[in-house]
Structure 1
């Protein structure tokens, strides 16, 4: 019997666990339509602000040997643009799972405003609140301020009743895993997304003796192969600390079916792909699904749930 890649997530069944990471192949309706036609199990919109943003000056995204560096500055077309798109898809394709919606305010007040717009709409899908925007000059990441994160979620869940997940930056200390998990466990979150890019890296062009992106004097978020070990560590750390009803989306360094398998083994239920999707295009989803199925067949697994989260420690 051929294995299945189906996953259940927030009460919905998805053909496979693969998605785009918000920021890649999701800026325009054409991008989103290409995701809808792909072999991804789901897809998510660009992180939206209240109105459209041009983002940071170019060059702001560069592919480098083991991944990417970017300082995009949250370019997007505004909440109404993406909300209109997902509501239209809901109406035209009522039997399909709606796309995920991503929002990222510049502060707690804007986050509340954005989520109120979604709460008051007919959107019936899953929303992702991005608490980890490392590439907006002058703006700190909300999730590195634990008190602000707690205050934000407390305010949000006073009115927001639809499925909500949060996207987190990487954490590097066990005490921070513990402290953040204790905050997240207080709220009826649907999931956490681990991780956003590793903030404020620097890549140098030796020939030019120069940085490679313009914003922030060359400092930017690192993605791709560079960050897979950090992403896996964060997936595992939160999988073992969060309440069972809070699922994990694994993001970071997924290029192959083996990378996907590792994220799932650490406890992720769904997976988002960013840098490699940017490099390869939407055909990546069919390739990784095929490779992941081959791994399941080789190991004798019939489903992802046969091994998800069952990472062994050395005793």
Structure 2
């Protein structure tokens, strides 16, 4: 099978400032992405995500390994490979601040060989879609960070490349703008069949948009699997029982013989007993234990795991889940 992104044994080291000590940022990463896939690239700060993306975009040369974009070797034929990708990098100026919104869209499209006539209608459509029509003739340096980020993504879409790299597209944005960008990215993935590689700490973005997740930690891939598989890996259910009085040590020990239990006190002096279960039938076993111990249940709440919890468990090594490569 031919992949639109194929990186093999990618390694990158830096010399530490004011010393000759080498810092290994990326320690042999291999990754393959098919056409139309939307892949989340995750990891804690310093894990090597941005360094990996920069090598994939030809902005950094690896010490070892290969990067192939649409069958083209990025290291040997960089300019040819770059024709197939668009990139929005976090913390970088992806736009010219002394040009207007429309001028930026026209300028970067022109760099791709597209004329104003060819893209005029497309620009109008994107401006309206991103709620930027009223800002079309404003200088970019006067826009909010959220509007600048939306414009950066619009410029990437206008390039009409098969592959889009996005590094932290919602970082530092307010809830409303973050939602707009999530909605836009989801539409791009569904409507245009683009291959998207998304690096983000924003777990709702990953859970809503990505089909597959690659988690990097300490310069290596620790997990490569579908979002649904990773969520099912931790498909435990937790129920919080608010009981009428303080839970005794003996009561707690009885429950702990069968289940994982956490207890805390609320402001009213009642015990909140959180019980983690693996199977739906276990819920009734917990109820039976409470009944046998004459513990009065005042309230029951359900807690469902989300992708942020999954991510933290994997990074902390709280699972024996081995790397599963999706192909």
Q: What TM-score comes out, normalization by structure 2 length?
A: 0.34
Structure richer in strand, relative to its length: 2
